[in-house]
Amino acid sequence: MPLAGLAEISDIGRDPRRGGYSRHLWQGAELELRSWFVERAERLGLDVETDRNGNLWAWWGRPGPDAVVTGSHLDSVPGGGAFDGPLGVVSALEAIERLQASGFVPTRPCAVLVFAEEEGSRFGIACLGSRLMTGAIDADQARALTDQDGVTLAEAAREVGLNPAHLGLDRDALARIGLFVELHVEQGRGLIDLGRPVAVASSILAHGRWRLSITGQGNHAGATTMAERRDPMVATAQAIVATQAAARSHVGTRATIGRIEAIPGGTNVIASAVHSWLDARAETDAQTRLLVADIEARAQQAAEQNGCSATLTEESWAGAVQFNPGLRARFAHALGQVPQLPSGAGHDAGVLAAHLPSAMLFVRNPTGISHAPEEFADTADCVAGIDALEQLLLELL
């Protein structure tokens, strides 16, 4: 049955409070998904291993070099959809299963790769597994990252049996990949507008994450007159509105504040500080930097107007990605002139693109919505995606 894998995991990590799924690195649901993946892959006779950064590999035949590797991720944003990540993993396993069933014998090594913490929902850095593998994040900086309970990445890694000293650039793992292809649900309306089920990715927006911390004076909600207040919540509210105005004034850019934390966080307490997290994106690195500089200036102004102070700290950065034009044209042609579409979302395939030939396939999402429970893909379109992936694997292997 097509997409049996998605049905098998459909109850893992459901989030009754937020809706959708919450599957976070090395915590209950994500660990269950890892076990499911191991069992699924082993049923196909694949050899599963975990690399030193917690990424899972399932090898069809002997491990690399020059392997054709396909996969995605199993973690989610808080309250995310069922397809972002798992669709690529399930499709990779199904494409291999079909090739095996046809009696095909690969002439190159092949693996399914599941990247750890693609969404950055636990430790704040998107594409953490691929950044660690490629050395795009400093290992010491990564080890010191903390989750919302104050657990460091090093501690979390130790808890699941990894040696935290071994986190970071993994030249051996990287050297095994001859080519990477990630199938992913589309996170936009490109394929809806084109009336097509499948596309090849052309590019990824530059994007990054910043923490905006606005500090004022914590005080009593009843005893403090309105004139006396230095309220960082009000400053943050103004900064959020200003963020929207800034992104609207920089054509084609996107800025989001989707997470906020008041300290100490009491109904009858004027906050002493408010932290909020900015996600900013644009077509080029320079446009993104300009947008963030504008937002920072507006946030400073909002803080000053309220007797507060503001700091904006960069937590992660990913430059714009252009997927290899020759490779994507070749894939688009091989699949019957499927369209090439840009991505507003970041992906591990984008991180790998700086190091090796890397490509992506997108499957139509009829809602156009992602990072939310409404994210969707019709079975027929998912099957078209698996067909496309199988065809590419057949040619590449």
β-strands 198-204, 110-115: how paired? unpaired
What number of other Cβ atoms are within 10 A of residue 332's Cβ? 19
Closer Cβ to Mn ion, 84 or 296, answer by number: 84
Q: Is residue 85 close enough to count as binding Mn ion by CB under 5 A?
A: yes
As measured in angstroms, the least distance from the Cβ of 101 to Mn ion is 28
Single residue of 20, 71, 232, 346 touching ligand GLV by CB under 6 A: 346
CB of 181 to ligand GLV, least distance (A): 18
Alpha carbon of residue 358 to chain centroid: 16
| Chosen residue from 308, 345, 382, 389 binding ligand GLV by CB under 6 A | 345
Q: Which of Mn ion, ligand GLV, none does 71 bind, CB closer than 5 to 8 A by kind?
A: none
Q: Are 206 and 281 in contact (CB under 8 A)?
A: yes
| For residue 65, cis peptide bond before it (omega within 30 degrees of 0) | yes
Tell me: does residue 351 bind ligand GLV (CB under 6 A).
no
Decide which of Mn ion, ligand GLV, none touches 85; Cβ closer than 5 to 8 Å per partner kind: Mn ion
> Cβ closer to ligand GLV: 142 or 280?
280
> N- to C-terminal Cα distance for the chain?
24
Calculate the alpha carbon distances from 334 to 83, 106, 111, 191 in Å: 25, 19, 21, 18
Question: Contact at 8 Å (CB) between 12 and 36?
Answer: yes
Quote the least distance from Cβ 162 to Mn ion, whole Å. Answer: 22
CA distances from 244 to 139, 198, 249, 289, 344 (A): 34, 32, 9, 16, 17
The contact pattern for ligand GLV, residues 122-151, with x = CB under 6 A and - = no contact, is ----x-------------------------
Which of 121, 236 has the CB closer to ligand GLV? 121
List of residues contacting ligand GLV (CB under 6 A)? 119, 126, 345-346
List of residues contacting Mn ion (CB under 5 A)? 84-85
